[in-house]
Copies of this chain bind each other. A is one copy, B any other.
Amino acid sequence: MSSKCLAPEAPSLCNAELVAVVFDLEAIGEGELTPGVLTVRAGEALPSGSLRTDHASLQRGMRHWVESLTGYRLGHTEQLYTFADTLSVGDITRLVRISYLALLHPSVDPRNWLSIYEYFPWEDRRKEGEAHQVGSIARRMMAWALNDATQRTRCAVAFGLEGHEWNDELVLQRYELMWQAGLVPESPDGVGENAIGRAMEHDQRRILATALSRIRAKIRYTPAVFDLLPERFTLFAVQQAVEALAGRPMHKQNFRRLLLGQQLVEETDSLDSNGHGRPARLYRFRRDHVQECYLTGARLPLPSLI
């Protein structure tokens, strides 16, 4: 009855690769923020490496590779997903990729960091006006799906067309639809010339999409944003961070009300005098108090926000 008894064939061994998606926040120009991702090989890949016998755990192995490849030491991390490659004929071993998500406080060193919106330009909808090509992409997608009702619905849902709302968590779905439609460089029968967004090795852009989706979901019911902010920050900085991650603008007064209502932050006596208008008060994340309530895994903070 044991599964071992039922497997007369020797179980095929495999090579486990650990992949890390590390996010932070980058300042780009006039108080503009964008989420940055830590890359290697000039943005072509995520930090990764094989699981070895001297790694005490999956997480440790992943940390080891990030540290030796980029020098960064990670804080809290979270497992994302495990992918298996498709096997070529004759392969003896197969590859399993186990991916992790980590957040880092802003770093002064911009080496190896790239905006995630370089990879997914269509995901940044903070400025409806310029609207990074979203309209054009949506049109190309609907044209592609013209003859298939199922695909057409999927595109409409994914890209917020035909009465559907734009859902910022559908990052992976959008990427995969575009992959199928041949709009990204990795597409199998893609039209390379019109491909959108920067490519990555293997299926790593899928991993990145999964990570973006996860962090967008996570900031809604978790105080995760604070892992990306400095020790002291203004409330508007929190808003800008959430906006940068979610890729959409939000209502300032309501954001403030919600944030203060959650008891997540406490005032300091200092002000931020760098801005143009009235100086903003600096706040501090109540890490101890919040951990007590939520870090155990409980749901809650920042409910709808968006």
Residues of chain B within 8 A (CB-CB) of A172 are 297
Measured CB to CB, the nearest residue on chain B to A299 is B169
A56–B86 CB distance below 8 A: yes
A157 within 8 A of B: yes
| Residues of A165-194 whose CB lies within 8 A of B | 167, 169-170, 172-173
Contact, CB under 8 Å: A51 / B16: no
Inter-chain contact A170/B91, CB cutoff 8 Å: no
What per-residue 1/0 map shows which CB atoms of A14-43 lie under 8 Å from chain B? 111000000000000000000000001100
Give 1 or 0 for each of A228-242: 1 = CB within 8 Å of chain B CB.
000000000000000
Beta-carbon contact of B3 and A48 below 8 Å: yes
For window 282-306 of chain A, which residues contact chain B by CB distance below 8 Å?
292-293, 296-299
Contact of A296 among B2, B13, B51, B154 (CB under 8 A): B154
Which of A76-84, A125-133, A139-147, A270-278 interfaces with chain B?
A76-84
Q: Is the CB of B52 within 8 A of A9?
A: yes
User: Are the CB atoms of B65 and A3 closer together than 8 Å?
Assistant: yes
Which residues of chain B are within 8 angstroms of A292 by Cβ–Cβ distance?
Answer: 153, 157
Residues of B contacting A11 with CB < 8 Å? 15, 50-52
Q: How far is the CB of A211 from chain B (nearest CB, A)?
A: 15
Inter-chain contacts of A173 with B (CB < 8 A): 296-297
Q: Is A108 an interface residue (CB 8 A)?
A: no
Q: Does A254 contact B (CB under 8 A)?
A: no
A213–B57 Cα gap in the complex (Å)? Answer: 23
B82 and A98 contact, CB distance less than 8 A? yes
Chain A interface size, as a band, is: 35 or more
Complex-state Cα separation, A157 to B296, whole angstroms: 8
A68 interfacial by beta-carbon distance below 8 Å? yes
Q: Copies per complex?
A: 2
A172 to B11, CA, bound (A): 30
Known interface pairs A11-B52, A57-B84. Does A296 touch B158 (Cβ–Cβ under 8 Å)?
A: yes
Q: Which residue of B lies closest to A220 (CB)?
A: B299
Verify if A250 is at the interface (C-beta below 8 Å from B).
no
Residues in B whose Cβ lies below 8 Å from that of A84: 51, 57-58
Residues of B with C-beta under 8 A to A53: 12, 87, 91-92, 94
Q: Which residue of B lies closest to A156 (CB)?
A: B292
Once the chains bind, are B299 and A47 in contact (CB under 8 Å)?
A: no
Taking the closest CB of chain B, its distance from the CB of A197, in whole angstroms, is: 20
**Cα distance A164–B49 when bound, in Å?**
42
Determine if A47 and B15 form an interchain contact, defined as CB atoms under 8 angstroms apart: no
Asked if residues B57 and A298 are in contact (CB atoms below 8 Å), the reply is no
Extra 12 A-B pairs, beta carbons < 8 Å, given A11-B15, A58-B82 = A1-B41, A3-B65, A3-B69, A12-B50, A12-B52, A14-B16, A53-B94, A56-B86, A154-B296, A167-B299, A170-B296, A173-B296
Some 10 contacts from A to B, beta carbons below 8 A apart, are A1-B41, A2-B45, A3-B65, A12-B51, A13-B93, A57-B86, A157-B292, A157-B296, A170-B296, A170-B297
